[in-house]
Amino acid sequence: KQWYQRRVRVEKVDMESMRKDVLTFNASRALADAYVYKGMAMEYLKFVSNSEEETGIESIVECYETAGDLGLELLNSISRSTLNLTLSGVLEIALLRSFLLQMSHGMVEKGLNRLRRILQTSDMPGSDTLRLTLSLTLGQVLLQGLPDNQWTPLVTRDTTSDTLTKRARNTPTLKKYETVFCPCNKVEEALLSLLIGQVLLYKEGCVSVHVEDETGYKQANKQAHTLLNMLVSLLAKYSQYRPLSDVIEKFLKYSHDDEHICKQFGLSLISSEQYVRGVAVLQKCHDRKVDVSIALVLAQTYLRHLQRHADAIKICEECLPLAEAPHVRSRVYLYRGVAEAALCRSSRLREDQNLYNKRSIESFQKSYSLDPNCSQTWYHLALRLASVGEIKKAFRFAHKVEASPGVVNMVDV
């Protein structure tokens, strides 16, 4: 505790006068690091003392924001010179920590505006990784942690600027609002931040693969899964499947056929009515590793949209040994029966018709034995039984279908 108390005494140094005399990059970065260490020490002492006063939090946030502003200005000065330097890790921590402290202590508007302000700074070399982290953080906060009634629109200038920023000589350069898109609601801002993160992630992922940086590539791949899941949940919620497929396709360019991303890409293509491409992608995933859920999607697409009944039967036969749950096995038998019934209708020889009709009835009966409450099984079983002259049994299932509310059948198949 005494060590941390000595670190807090850095406030006795006249940092404002030092800032006027600082001319070198290293000296400016050392000054910014001093503010970070001071904030970390104050945060630790507040945690040890179990104090809940908000005044202490404001002082800690002030130290972190001072260090963050100095760090951003340093990056801005690098962009005007030939230096090839980056921020230290502690400054990146300061930029994130100030925002997290404000959000965790109920200062939602200040924390959100602070994060926006950092992202609105001019593009600077060496800040792509930081911008990517901040974009993902902003997207997660807007989608998962911020109620609609607490969202505030962007302002043309930072009216809630902090006291330290007002007295600081060096402040980061902000982008002009006349040249950028300004979101009008929380969804637009979340989507914009995620798309910015996608561009930065694509750039970072390509660079990591190019230089054979295994650690950087794994980190980019982990962030890609997080970003992709948020984009899928957001765009699928508003049925924007075609833009979603375009977004996921860009992820595939550096993911080296990641299984999760390939599945999401195939599902987005099918949802956007690009059935041929979607089936080709999902079939590739299925050939690599048999997945019952993907196989069911393939079988349904083959039956409902592509009329490839033989392929649907083949897919059902392959995934049937892996389907353990009764309702899943019932669904596999149902799709296989529908495909066999379609082949029965399209066959010209009486012998083939009787064969496929017999197989389809057996498949529907197995489906019914595994899931007796499936209305689709009732419907198709009634049709097949009526075709072979078993009218009484067909009527029994037909009455069940008629009495079932909200029945969704597969007549179009």
pLDDT, tens digit (0-9, with 9 covering 90-100), for 312-365: 999 999 999 888 899 999 999 999 999 999 999 999 898 999 999 999 999 999
Angle between helices 375-387 and 391-403 (to 10 degrees): 150
pLDDT at 182: 77
- The mean-pLDDT minimum among 198-202, 380-384, 406-410 falls in 406-410
pLDDT at 179: 61
Q: Is the pLDDT of residue 165 over 90?
A: no
C-alpha to C-alpha distance for 138 and 108, rounded to whole angstroms: 12
CA dihedral sign, ordered 371, 375, 379, 382: positive
Q: Quick one: what percent of the chain has pLDDT higher than 70?
A: 74
Structure tokens at 35: 């503010």
pLDDT at 59: 81
Q: Which residue has the higher pLDDT, 258 or 211?
A: 258
State CA 399 to chain mean position distance: 45
Structure tokens at 81: 């010179």
- For 287, counting Cβ atoms within 10 Å of its Cβ (0-12 exposed, 13-18 middle, 19+ buried), the class is exposed
Q: Is the pLDDT of residue 403 over 70?
A: yes
Q: Which residue has the higher pLDDT, 49 or 317?
A: 317
Kindly indicate the confidence band of residue 372, based on its pLDDT and cuts at 50, 70 and 90.
very high
Structure tokens at 213: 């940086």
User: pLDDT tens-digit profile of 216-258?
Assistant: 667 777 788 888 889 998 999 898 999 999 988 888 876 767 7
Cite the DSSP H helix spans in 180-274.
Answer: 186-210, 214-237, 241-255, 259-271
Top mean pLDDT of 78-87, 97-106, 163-172, 315-324 is at 315-324
Q: For the residues 74-96, what does the mean pLDDT come to?
A: 64
pLDDT at 38: 82
Structure tokens at 278: 């979607």
pLDDT at 276: 94
Q: Is the pLDDT of residue 3 over 50?
A: no
pTM metric for this prediction: 0.73
Averaged pLDDT of the chain: 78
Q: Which residue has the higher pLDDT, 235 or 28?
A: 235
Q: Quick one: what percent of the chain has pLDDT higher than 90?
A: 27
Phi and psi at residue 121, to the nearest 5°: -70, 155
Q: Which residue has the tokens 């104090």?
A: 51
Q: Which residue has the higher pLDDT, 67 or 295?
A: 295
Give yes or no for a contact between 265 and 228, defined as CB atoms under 8 angstroms apart.
no
pLDDT at 166: 42
pLDDT at 208: 53
What share of residues in the chain are helix, strand, coil (percent, to 5)?
Answer: 75, 0, 25
C-alpha to C-alpha distance for 101 and 110, rounded to whole angstroms: 10
Q: Which residue has the higher pLDDT, 323 or 80?
A: 323
Kindly indicate the confidence band of residue 206, based on its pLDDT and cuts at 50, 70 and 90.
low
Top mean pLDDT of 50-54, 160-164, 384-388 is at 384-388
Give yes or no for a contact between 113 and 174, defined as CB atoms under 8 angstroms apart.
no
pLDDT at 51: 60
Q: For the residues 124-135, what does the mean pLDDT come to?
A: 74
**Contacts of 143 by beta carbon, 8 Å cutoff, 6+ apart:** 190, 230, 233, 234
C-alpha to C-alpha distance for 364 and 410, rounded to whole angstroms: 14
Give yes or no for a contact between 78 and 85, defined as CB atoms under 8 angstroms apart.
yes
Give the Å distances, CA to CA, from 103 to 46, 106, 114, 115, 412: 17, 5, 10, 11, 52
Return the SS3 of 121.
Answer: strand
What are the residues facing 252 on neighbouring strands?
none
Top mean pLDDT of 42-46, 133-137, 242-246 is at 242-246
CA dihedral sign, ordered 127, 176, 31, 59: negative
Give the Å distances, CA to CA, from 6 to 1, 11, 41, 111: 9, 10, 9, 29
Number of helices followed by number of strands (H, E) in the chain: 19, 0
Q: Which residue has the higher pLDDT, 339 or 115?
A: 339
C-alpha to C-alpha distance for 308 and 313, rounded to whole angstroms: 9
pLDDT at 402: 82
Angle between helices 241-255 and 186-210 (to 10 degrees): 20
**Contacts of 328 by beta carbon, 8 Å cutoff, 6+ apart:** 292, 296
Alpha carbons within 13 A on the beta-carbon side of 70? 33
pLDDT at 109: 79
Q: Is the pLDDT of residue 17 over 90?
A: no
79, 72, 1: which is closest to 42 by C-alpha?
1
Q: For the residues 151-173, what does the mean pLDDT come to?
A: 53
